Chain A
Amino acid sequence: MTNTQPTNTEPTKTQPTVRSCPFDPPAEYRTLREQEPVAPMTFPDGAAGWLVTRYDDVRTVLSDARFSAKRGILRPGGPEGDVPAPPPPGLFIMMDAPEHTRFRRLLTGQFTVRRMRQLTPAVEKIVAEQLDAMAAAEGPVDLVQAFALPIPSLVICELLGVPYADREEFQRNSATIVRLNSSPEEFQQAQGAMRAFIHQLVLAKRENPTDDILSELVQSGELTDEELTGVGVLLLIAGHETTANMIALSTMCLLRNPEQLAALRADPSLMDGAVEELLRYLSIIQFGVRRTALEDVELHGHQIKEGSMVVASLSSGNRDTEHFADAPELLDVAREHTPHLAFGHGIHQCLGQQLARAEMKAALSALLERFPTLRLAVPVDEVPMRDDMLVYGVHELPVTW
């Protein structure tokens, strides 16, 4: 069967965005996976394109060089034209090979499995300090501000060489950049402020290099100041928005799945697998990853025309019963095989994934051990969910113990 782009006579389908359960992607994804795995969609900026929902197809789209990452970041519900074109220098998530390769190669040595394991004691120390402060405050506290956000933020600041003392401003700017309903002016202002901040740091590190990634990149002599700034902004945003939300949302999810929480408390050796399962189950890059076809591509019998936008849904792929045969709609911390798509796939697969794993393990292990009676301090339906953000999670998580 061959489908073409939707015509004016067909009802326009838009990407599902409304959740009925805080931990599940919108229910429509299941229907799409079963009935229309490559579905014509109209996206918020008016572009016609395709939504891909099955595990195997998501991997195909993200690993096939005929699909380009240049078009930009998906912001459903966001205002039109909010992503500048061309992207700022150094924003390597919006580049294709070989341009992308040049940036990726400069950074991969900083995020290896071994390097992140060596970093674990330092992460554990940061985690313990946050838990001490939390315990001293007594409950209830907002777990996001007290724990989930400071950990990755402190770690990425340390790694990158960004002063954590400046966190209030860059955390606010970062949140504006990933918020869907930021106006184009707010978006540009936040991005400009972030670039100005990192640009000053780049200049400072050129004068006085220290022991951090930004200094090493400066000294490598491979990148212009503009490119260094773009890389710095990207790592700073990616370094804390994602992991902070995985820590907070994972905690909420475990508290709402007491049998799974009990299993994890009873056998801490399950933690490595539990982290993979939480990544799969929660899939916080909630609207998927956007690509553009560089030529006509056939996918599942559909002709995807050159120039068409394709959105690969990571959260839908991670619930695909064809791939995860054993009840993927359920959280199972003891699940044995979890090759999930939470970090994406292809050449853009998350550079910081080993750091994210190290932070999640350290944070969740210590939190569960330190607070055996941890519980939500408000009814579950009063927890403000991040439906309005590119990165899903909770805005706040009031907890007590």
Chain B
Amino acid sequence: MKILIDEGKCVGAGTCVLAAADVFDQRDEDGIVVLLDADPPHTSLPQVRDAAARCPALAIEVVE
């Protein structure tokens, strides 16, 4: 699994952090998404998919 994020689209809602805290974080200064793990273990897939589905700005893409 590979995760692609588009910082330009991110609106800092934080929904990805709630869905998958091991994989996503937010920059303190502007709340923009930070990818903690670009290739997380397969067991994280449901949470990562959930994060991508919830992202209001469609800034997360999951390549399986």
Contact = CB atoms under 8 A, between A and B. Distances in A.
Interface of A: 62-63, 104-105, 108-115, 337, 339, 343-347, 349-351, 353-354
Contact of B28 (A63, A114, A343, A353): A114
A353 B13 contact: yes
A339 to B, nearest CB: 5
Given A344-B56, A353-B14, 11 more contacts: A105-B12, A108-B26, A109-B28, A109-B29, A114-B25, A339-B53, A347-B56, A347-B57, A349-B56, A351-B12, A353-B15
Nearest to B25: A114
Given A111-B31, A113-B18, A347-B56, A339 B50 contact: yes
A112 B31 contact: yes
Contacts of B15: 349, 353
Interface of A, helix, strand, loop or mixed by DSSP: helix
B62 interface: no
26 contacts: A62-B56, A63-B57, A63-B58, A104-B11, A108-B11, A108-B26, A108-B30, A109-B12, A111-B12, A111-B14, A111-B31, A112-B14, A112-B26, A112-B28, A114-B26, A115-B28, A339-B50, A339-B53, A339-B54, A347-B11, A349-B11, A349-B13, A349-B56, A350-B13, A353-B13, A353-B15
B35 interface: no
A111 B30 CA distance: 9
A141 B25 CA distance: 42
B5 interface: no
Contacts of A63: 56-58
B48 interface: no
What are the 9 tightest A-B residue pairs by CB atom distance, in nearest-first order?
A108-B12, A108-B31, A349-B56, A113-B14, A112-B26, A113-B17, A109-B30, A112-B31, A109-B31
Contacts of B2: none
Interface string B32-57: 10000000000000000010011011
Interface string B1-23: 00000000001111101100000
Contact of B32 (A108, A111, A344, A349): A108
Given A63-B58, A339-B54, A347-B57, A105 B13 contact: no
A349 B58 CA distance: 12
Contacts of B17: 112-113
Given A111-B12, A112-B12, A353-B14, A345 B56 contact: yes
Contacts of B13: 343, 349-351, 353
Given A109-B31, A112-B26, A113-B17, A104 B54 contact: no
Contacts of A109: 12, 27-31
Given A63-B58, A339-B50, A347-B57, A105 B14 contact: no
Contacts of B28: 109, 112, 114-115
B1 to A, nearest CB: 20
A105 B32 CA distance: 8
A112 B57 CA distance: 16
B7 to A, nearest CB: 11
Contacts of B58: 63
A60 to B, nearest CB: 11
A354 B56 contact: no
B14 A104 contact: no
Contacts of B18: 113
B59 to A, nearest CB: 10
B26 A113 contact: yes
Contacts of A337: 50
B19 to A, nearest CB: 9
B8 to A, nearest CB: 9
B12 A104 contact: yes
Nearest to B54: A339
Nearest to A115: B28
A351 B15 CA distance: 11
B38 to A, nearest CB: 20
A390 to B, nearest CB: 21
Nearest to B46: A337
Nearest to B13: A349
